[in-house]
Structure 1
Amino acid sequence: MTQTTYTAANISRIIKNYIIQEFMYDRVATDLTIDTLLIEEGIIDSMGIFRLITFLEEQFGFTIKPEEVVLESFETITAITGLVKTHLT
């Protein structure tokens, strides 16, 4: 089995698409950027973070440790991408 090499842009796109499909189905997604404040804007709530964690773990094949589950890691797509990148390098 070959390991997929993800770029930051690929990771961000995958995360953005997931957020649009799972959390913004009833909202206009055109305003979602990689720096949109996901929690502050009400796009993702505390339960949504856990759904997102499950998706990230399954999509990218790693486990997020409990101490990594802090709001700063999930504030923006950029922050989430950074978290994923740390696990893939």
Structure 2
Amino acid sequence: MTTTVATQIRIDKEVKKEANELFDDLGLDMSSAVNIFLRQCIMHDGLPFEVERPKYSASTLSAMEEAKKISRDPNVPGYNSMAELKAALLEGD
């Protein structure tokens, strides 16, 4: 019989939000995802992936951060097709 125990961890608010959205899409909850991660750590006798510092330049990291902010800005228009994007671009002429 499996015995479970409650565990409390601190997670960055935005990381938790994004992780919950991902897990929801995968049909998982946070607890199930953490359990999968922990079991994979045990099976691999370590982390189940490489941990390394990204090798991006400061300008690339800045551009990535700017893109993330733009993608979450509700005032930035979105398009469902190239035709919609092209029409919006042509309106600006």
TM range, smaller chain: under 0.3
Tell me the TM-score normalized by structure 1.
0.23
**Greater relative CO (CA pairs within 8 A, separation 6+):** 1
Larger radius of gyration: 2
